[in-house]
Amino acid sequence: EVSTEDPETAFCTLANREDLNLEEGSIHHCLYQFTRNEKLTETNKLLCDVCTQRHYGPKKNISEKKYVYTNAKKQMLISLAPPVLTLHLKRFQQAGFNLRKVNRHIKFPEVIDLAPFCTVKCKNVAEGNTKVLYSLYGVVEHSGTMRSGHYTAYAKMRSMNNRLPDLVLRGQSPQASETEPVKGQWFHISDTHVQAVSASKVLSSQAYLLFYERLL
């Protein structure tokens, strides 16, 4: 689906991306790379229906494969901030004909701001807001190799987030000003074994899946 956007705001975000601390090996760096502006040139040019009609006129014979391709820019941004944000980290890489597990630690915060990765016209963000904040409440960790291993989880026992029903059921934008993580106790779950742990222990884990709930 092709939509016409104001060229002045088509690639604009809610917050300035250049102000980010893009430390390599951080979740911010991963999100920045995933949402970076890409140039489509040469063999990656975009098929342009408008350019084709302008060059060849109205298309009458669809068997005539005469198309015009043009240079373009592409950027993937968030247009609707979810009530629950799930981040899935790619924990494997190609090594010749084999896949290899990536055990590198990726830094992730307790509170993350998605505004630098949201389009300036994000649908469920209140006008004037330049922050889209999420608080961490769950982590899935994998230990082992590509052939075998074990999944464990970190979960935060906390009070109910009363804003989630508004977000999920009614699509209302939160207006609160909290910037701190939701208070609660972290637990490490491995099969039937459950143990209370500190937030620092959670933040040092080899995260595979991250779960955040929206604050603002």
Domain that holds residue 157: 79-214
Of 9 and 142, more confident: 142
User: 91 in a domain, yes or no?
Assistant: yes
User: 195 in a domain, yes or no?
Assistant: yes
Amino acid occupying residue 192: T
The predicted-structure confidence for 182-212, as pLDDT tens digits, reads as follows 889 999 999 999 999 999 999 999 999 999 9
User: 88 in a domain, yes or no?
Assistant: yes
User: 186 in a domain, yes or no?
Assistant: yes
Q: What is the DSSP string of 161-201?
A: -TTHHHHHHS-PPP-----SPPPEEEEEEETTEEEEE-HHH
User: 74 in a domain, yes or no?
Assistant: no
User: 1 in a domain, yes or no?
Assistant: no
Task: Indicate whether 1 pLDDT > 50.
Answer: no
User: 73 in a domain, yes or no?
Assistant: no
Number of structural domains in the chain? 1
What CATH number is given to the structural domain containing 173? 3.90.70.10
The predicted-structure confidence for 81-135, as pLDDT tens digits, reads as follows 999 999 999 888 777 777 888 888 999 999 999 999 999 988 888 888 889 999 9
Of 2 and 213, more confident: 213
Of 168 and 15, more confident: 15
Pick left, alpha or beta for residue 215 (phi over 0 → left; psi -120 to 50 → alpha; otherwise beta).
alpha
Whether pTM > 0.85 for this model: the answer is no
User: 146 in a domain, yes or no?
Assistant: yes
